[in-house]
């Protein structure tokens, strides 16, 4: 009986609408299947599975969400992200472009496509996407997008535009600690130590410590051949962030 009941429930769900008999004997339609709500649920499940590394279930739920609402740009963004994670960049790009076609005002899709294109060294196309993202009315992740554009410009050796984009990112974020640290890391990797020192000095004005900031101070001290400063911040790194990747790097440096 329980198996039969489960089969009946499945049949009801699949048909989407059944009739119910009221007390007076009249037939009234039951609540209809809500495709939009079902799509939202499947999309959320798909992204949750994706975060946990269960790619098969992620794909199945994202595709079911698309079946329910084939004109929903959020679903195509989710599918694009899935394909990006499994390194199928052709499908990822196609799905991002579909999301943009369905919602041309969505700055997130332009930004995400820009990151994807930059990763494939399609720098000029990526830059166009970043510019379109920040141009969208109501788009709030401007600082993050400018930071992405800065990284991308640096990737093709365009240091002038990289600096300009990072300054814009800092302006739009009110001097974000995260952006200062990322920019300083990039400058140190480029051996532009004078400008890196300026960014690290700006970062030092914020009270909270991070492993990345302390490691930046160590790296700058090494570049400046300042042994005392190197030891001072190295010991601080080991004391405050002993299990960090930066602490491990410092141990190899000693």
What's the longest Cα–Cα distance across the chain? 91
Overall pTM > 0.75:
yes
- Which single residue is written with the structure tokens 């090494």? 222
What CA–CA distance (Å, rounded) separates 223 from 244? 22
d(CA 118, CA 139): 21
Contact (Cβ atoms closer than 8 angstroms) between residue 106 and residue 137: no
Q: Give me the tens of pLDDT residue by residue for the chain, a chain 254 residues long.
A: 333 333 323 333 343 433 344 444 555 455 687 889 999 999 999 999 999 999 999 999 999 999 999 999 999 999 999 999 999 999 999 999 999 999 999 999 999 999 999 999 999 999 999 999 999 999 999 999 999 999 999 999 999 999 999 999 999 998 899 999 999 999 999 999 999 999 999 999 999 999 999 999 999 999 999 999 999 999 999 999 999 999 999 999 87
Tokens at 80, concatenated: 């694009």
Residue found under tokens 């200062």? 180
**Dist CA 68 CA 35 (whole Å):** 5
Task: For each of the domains in the chain, give its residue range(s) and CATH number, in order of start.
Answer: 35-103 (1.25.40.10)
CA distances to 5, 68, 76, 144, 167 from 164, rounded to whole Å, are 65, 44, 32, 14, 5
């Amino acid at each position: 009986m329980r198996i039969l009941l489960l089969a009946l429930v499945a049949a009801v769900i699949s048909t989407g609408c059944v009739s119910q008999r009221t007390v007076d004997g009249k037939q009234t339609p039951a609540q209809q299947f809500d495709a939009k709500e079902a799509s939202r649920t499947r999309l959320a499940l798909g992204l949750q599975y994706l975060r946990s590394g269960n790619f098969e279930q992620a794909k199945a739920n994202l595709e079911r969400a698309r079946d329910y609402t084939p004109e929903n740009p959020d679903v195509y963004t989710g599918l694009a992200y899935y394909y990006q994670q499994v390194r199928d960049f052709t499908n990822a790009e196609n799905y991002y472009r579909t999301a943009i076609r369905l919602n041309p005002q969505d700055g997130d899709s332009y930004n995400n496509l820009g990151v994807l294109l930059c990763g494939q060294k399609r720098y000029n196309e990526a830059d166009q996407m970043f510019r379109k993202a920040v141009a969208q009315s109501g788009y709030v992740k401007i600082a993050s997008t400018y930071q992405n554009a800065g990284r991308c410009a640096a990737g093709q050796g365009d240091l002038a535009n990289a600096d300009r984009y990072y300054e814009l990112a800092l302006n739009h974020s009110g001097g974000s600690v995260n952006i200062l640290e990322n920019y300083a890391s990039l400058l140190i990797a480029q051996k532009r130590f004078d400008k890196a020192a300026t960014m690290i000095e700006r970062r030092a004005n914020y009270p909270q410590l991070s492993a990345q900031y302390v490691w930046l101070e160590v790296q700058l001290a090494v570049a400046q051949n300042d042994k005392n400063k190197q030891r001072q911040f190295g010991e601080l790194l080991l004391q405050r962030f002993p299990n960090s990747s930066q602490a491990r790097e410092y141990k190899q440096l000693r």
